Amino acid sequence: MKDKLTIVKVGGKVVEDADSLSKLLHDFSKIQGYKVLVHGGGRSATKLATQLGIETQMVNGRRVTDADMLRVVTMVYGGLVNKNVVAQLQSIGLNAIGLTGADMDVIRSVKRPFKNVDYGFVGDVKSVNGKILSELIRQGIIPVMAPLTHDGHGNMLNTNADTIAAEVAKALAEYFDVTLTYCFEKKGVLRDEHDDDSVIPVITPDNYDKLKTEGVISGGMLPKLENAFSAIRVGVGSVVITSFQDICGSHATIIRK
């Protein structure tokens, strides 16, 4: 029987607010078994870019990352946000290490090819070194993953944190019984976006197609669920979508085969 591992992905809105972060990490510390934390940090990147006179351009919710913006997100994601989370974990007795994909060659990506939009230095994950990550985790160290990868040719790449969480979950499924938990502001996937209690308890491939056709699931939730199903198909035990205030998922959406 494989040891249990929980991967928690949390957005920038949570990790950039001191009170929210404190609550999240307290709950995170109570999760049994091995753990990994994956974080965002977009608001802090936008704020610093503005202070530096660098324009932020978003297309379909994705950050266009030119050379100047790449410097900003590397500083913010890999430095300010990541190290603050690591320091907070150390303060509550959890031994953590902050990682970008470049550290220990953990995650390699390829620069997203130009199609309709040139996203610049944005990476699509090519490989995750699950073996070296698993060895680190078994030493009792909690990886804290920033949304940055590298291409193996000396270039950092801005990479979607939801995708990083899913790809890390896939790579570690060979070594652990993995639960992937996506935390955001809502209690789960909602049937009615105006009713926070209308959580859909279980989504399978069959009812997912139906929910998309009905327009219940749309926008930014679509890539999150695509990542979830992608992880389930390759051996991740379960995927949970829940509120950052309830990471143990007493009210949540469970993604199943």
Q: Is the pLDDT of residue 206 over 90?
A: no
CA 24 to CA 88: how far, in whole Å?
11
Alpha-carbon gap, residue 73 to 9, rounded angstroms: 18
* Contact by Cβ (8 Å): 173, 131: no
- Residue range 75-103, pLDDT digits in tens: 999 999 999 999 999 999 999 999 999 99
Mean pLDDT, residues 104-133 taken together: 95
Write out the DSSP string of 157-199: EE--HHHHHHHHHHHHTTTSEEEEEEEESSSSSBSSTT-TT-B
Q: Which fold has domain 4-255?
A: Carbamate kinase (3.40.1160)
Query: Position of tokens 């944190």?
Result: 161
pLDDT of 243: 85
- For 19-30, the pLDDT digits (tens) are 999 999 999 999
**What is the total residue count of the chain?**
257
Instruction: Enter the pTM of the model.
Output: 0.93
Q: Residue 224 — pLDDT band, cuts 50, 70, 90?
A: confident
Domain residue limits, the chain: 4-255
Per-residue CA distances from 133 to 39, 81, 174, 238 (Å): 17, 21, 12, 20
What's the mean pLDDT in 244-254? 77
- Edge-to-edge strand list for the sheet holding 4-10: 96-99, 142-145, 34-39, 4-10, 177-184, 238-243, 252-255, 202-203
Report the alpha-carbon distance of residue 256 to residue 47 in Å, rounded. Answer: 38
Residue type, 50: T
State how far Cα 80 lies from the chain centre: 17
Mean pLDDT of 141-170: 96
